[in-house]
Amino acid sequence: MIEVVNGQRQLTGCKRIVVKIGSSLLTANGQGLDLDAISHWASQIADLHRSGHEIILVSSGAVAEGMVRMKLAARPTDLPSLQACAAIGQMGLIQTWSSVLEKHQIQTAQVLLTHDDLADRRRYLNSCDALQHLIEWRVIPVINENDTVSTDEIRFGDNDTLAAMVAGQVHADLLIILTDQQGMFDADPRSNPDAKLLSSVRALDESLFEMAGGGGLLGRGGMVTKVRAARLAAKSGCPTLIASGDSDLVLSRLMSGEMLGTLFVTDNDRMTAHQQWLAAHLQTAGRLVIDDGAVEAIKKKHRSLLPVGVKAVEGHFDRGDVVECVDQHGHRVAVGRVNFSSRSAEIVKGLASDKVYQVLGEARSLEMIHRNHMSIY
């Protein structure tokens, strides 16, 4: 838990830091990458690097740079054009970061990830190993979405979520999300002039979503995605700081304890490595709609999901696949590895445990999803 002493956040114990910088802070009002701005960020990152911090950088800006290189007046709406823009712009993005950090004698490495990379267990562990080696070698990974192949990500995704997933992967002590907003307000400041900036909130507080607004022109995020990212990072035990990148020397000031932005604090419980991997599944093989009793058992008592609590089975999946559990309003409750195929799950849904053996005629786990193979939202 990060404490506040004499009006200063105590961040001295935060050694490994994931820093996510949004498109609006890296581009010149949509006119491609802003070399002066990126040089400014490189200087701040280098200061933290020299002071012993381990920095992992998640950088947006590839599509915006691709648009300028191809002289496009507006962001494309069709997927092939978006993918092409991302591929073209990524060349400039990584080249720029490499050149500006090299001036500070810092080596960089390009890492492109998709949610599929994090959903596949073997690829997830391989990327964990690669990132760990880069960190040990004092190399700064520059991470971005692999938009060229990640079609769903271009349409729906954001680098806030990616940064939170990476924070869990590398067991980061802190996630910093820099944006064009001052932090989290108790209401949308764009429509409510009386909205107040919150200095600290509990990341898993459900009411935060009601306070969040939408995204900007060039970026794909918004405060909703940042709240969701802070929530995901918190499940790995990683607190999140959301602050304005327009503030002078914001990284240095944040790490010195200045009360800028909003700190999303974690609860005491921390997910296991296996549960972190499960939490990385934004896309799942199927869905189980569960009743209110099962929701309470999972969220409040951390119990396994039993067939009796399942109301409906959606999609086609095999035993061992990762599926999501949603309440009867469609809100995600958990994801986990299911012990039944969709065909068997359809047969045993709603049945008490003593009936499951009778119906299936085979011995197996009575849990639809065991609590040890579940990540709760």
Looking at mean pLDDT, say which of 124-133, 144-153, 359-368 comes out highest: 124-133
In a domain, residue 91? The reply is yes
pLDDT confidence of residue 259: 93
Number of domains comprising the chain = 2
Q: Which band of pLDDT confidence, cut at 50, 70 and 90, is reported for residue 348?
A: very high
The pLDDT tens digits of the residues spanning 238-286 come to: 999 999 999 899 999 999 999 999 999 987 666 666 777 777 666 788 9
In a domain, residue 185? The reply is yes
- Given 275, 309, 343, the domain boundary residue is 275
148-172 mean pLDDT: 76
Output the domain CATH number for residue 290.
2.30.130.10
Same domain, 83 and 104: yes
In a domain, residue 64? The reply is yes
pLDDT confidence of residue 57: 98
Q: What is the enclosing helix (H) or strand (E) of 211?
A: helix 208-211
Distances (CA, A) of 152 to 20, 85, 89, 260, 297: 21, 16, 19, 34, 32
pLDDT confidence of residue 117: 81
Q: Which residues contact 81 (CB under 8 A, 6 or more apart)?
A: none
Q: How many CB atoms lie within 10 A of CB 230?
A: 31
Q: Which band of pLDDT confidence, cut at 50, 70 and 90, is reported for residue 215?
A: very low
Same domain, 259 and 305: no
Same domain, 254 and 293: no
- Given 247, 275, 303, the domain boundary residue is 275
β 174-179/16-21 pair status:
parallel
Q: Tell me, what DSSP letter sits at residue 263?
A: E
**pTM as predicted:** 0.79
Same domain, 31 and 133: yes
Mean pLDDT of all residues in the chain?
A: 87
Q: Which residues contact 171 (CB under 8 A, 6 or more apart)?
A: 16, 236, 238
Higher-confidence position of 172 and 122: 172
Q: Which band of pLDDT confidence, cut at 50, 70 and 90, is reported for residue 350?
A: very high
Backbone phi and psi for residue 187, each to the nearest 5 degrees, phi listed first: -155, 170
Higher-confidence position of 297 and 276: 297
State the residue for tokens 């933290």.
48
Same domain, 310 and 230: no
pLDDT confidence of residue 152: 58
Same domain, 261 and 302: no
- Given 275, 292, 317, the domain boundary residue is 275
Same domain, 291 and 261: no
Looking at mean pLDDT, say which of 4-8, 267-271, 305-309 comes out highest: 305-309
Same domain, 271 and 355: no
User: Considering only 159-173, 182-196, 274-288, which range has the smallest mean pLDDT?
Assistant: 274-288
Structure tokens at 21: 């910088």
pLDDT confidence of residue 151: 62
Output the domain CATH number for residue 20.
3.40.1160.10
> What HEC string does 60-125 produce?
CCHHHHHHHHCCCCCCCCCHHHHHHHHHHHHHHHHHHHHHHHHCCCCCEEEEEECHHHHHCHHHHH
Q: What is the enclosing helix (H) or strand (E) of 160?
A: helix 159-169
Same domain, 20 and 166: yes
Distance CA 337, CA 367 (A): 11
Same domain, 237 and 263: yes
In a domain, residue 232? The reply is yes
In a domain, residue 242? The reply is yes
46-71 mean pLDDT: 94
Structural domain including 255 reads: 12-275
Q: Which band of pLDDT confidence, cut at 50, 70 and 90, is reported for residue 214?
A: very low
